[in-house]
Amino acid sequence: MTPIDTGGFFTAHIIIRLFSSLDLGWKYSNFPSQSSATSRTPENIYVKGSREIWMSDPVFSVPINERYFEDYLPGPVFEYGPIAVTESEVVDFAKKFDPQYIHTDPAKAASGPFGGLIASGWHTSSLMMRLYADNYLSSVASLASPGIDELRWLKPVRPGDSLWIRVTALDSRRSKSKPDLGVVRVYVEVLNQNREVVMTVKTVNLFRRRPAP
């Protein structure tokens, strides 16, 4: 669980596909109650340093099946979730992809360094990817990612946790080599039910540009 750098967004994408076959000090004032982007109310405000920052408008302004590069504007913040972490999935995932006792053996893990079973960081990444793909990435214009930056696993994720993602587009630019594509960098935080940030990552996403009318 030591925080590391990595550059393999494809790895996380492959893992979530395989997993589907199995059946940064920001404080937030209120935990959303439904699986959608948070609404813009006085309760939906989080604090970074001494600054209070509003969450984005209630939903992404364009439906997921109509989104193109031009719709991913830097600035707005969205949250999506929750997704449950179960003991059976933690163990099943780790036995297939990360067979360390802290992920696979509840009895042995109880006397281990984390005082109990924890999810593999790659499992957490896969759960993040599921929320990210289901809610944020365009279903018509999202293409392969060239990679990720600054992946950090900050706190253990345990069976019984519920995870959300907080998503912020950092910047966007048109591709110089492929004028029909655009590149968007996105900062993704994974939070548990206690509003603790358990993982962060910066993704690089390729999107088709909106076709001319």
Q: Provide the domain count of the chain.
A: 1
* Residue 148, beta-bridge partner list: 203
- pLDDT for position 60: 84
128 three-class SS: helix
54 three-class SS: strand
User: Which H or E run includes 170?
Assistant: strand 162-174
Residue 4 domain-assigned? no
- β 181-191/197-208 pair status: antiparallel
* Residue 169, beta-bridge partner list: 186
Residue 141 has pLDDT above 90, yes or no: yes
Residue 152 domain-assigned? yes
Residue 16's domain comprises 9-208
Residue 212 has pLDDT above 90, yes or no: no
pLDDT tens column, 151-206:
999 999 999 999 999 999 999 999 989 999 999 999 999 999 999 999 999 999 99
Q: What is the DSSP letter of 39?
A: P
CB 53 within 8 A of CB 77: yes
Q: What is the DSSP letter of 56?
A: -
At residue 12's C-alpha, the angle toward residues 7 and 14, to 5°, is 120
Residue 145 has pLDDT above 60, yes or no: yes
Which domain CATH number covers 73? 3.10.129.10
Nearest Cα neighbor of 175 from 144, 136, 133, 135 is: 144
pLDDT tens column, 101-116:
999 999 999 999 999 9
pLDDT tens column, 37-90:
443 333 444 444 443 334 444 478 899 999 999 999 998 999 999 999 999 999
- pLDDT for position 21: 40
Residue 122 domain-assigned? yes
**Angstrom distance (rounded) from CA 184 to CA 165:** 17
124-148: average pLDDT: 96
Residue 201 domain-assigned? yes
- pLDDT for position 166: 95
Residue 2 domain-assigned? no
pTM, to two decimals: 0.75
- pLDDT for position 42: 35
Nearest Cα neighbor of 200 from 188, 209, 212 is: 188
pLDDT tens column, 4-50:
444 444 444 444 444 334 433 333 333 333 344 443 333 444 444 44
- pLDDT for position 11: 43
- pLDDT for position 57: 47
Residue 3 domain-assigned? no
Residue 1 domain-assigned? no
Residue 81 domain-assigned? yes
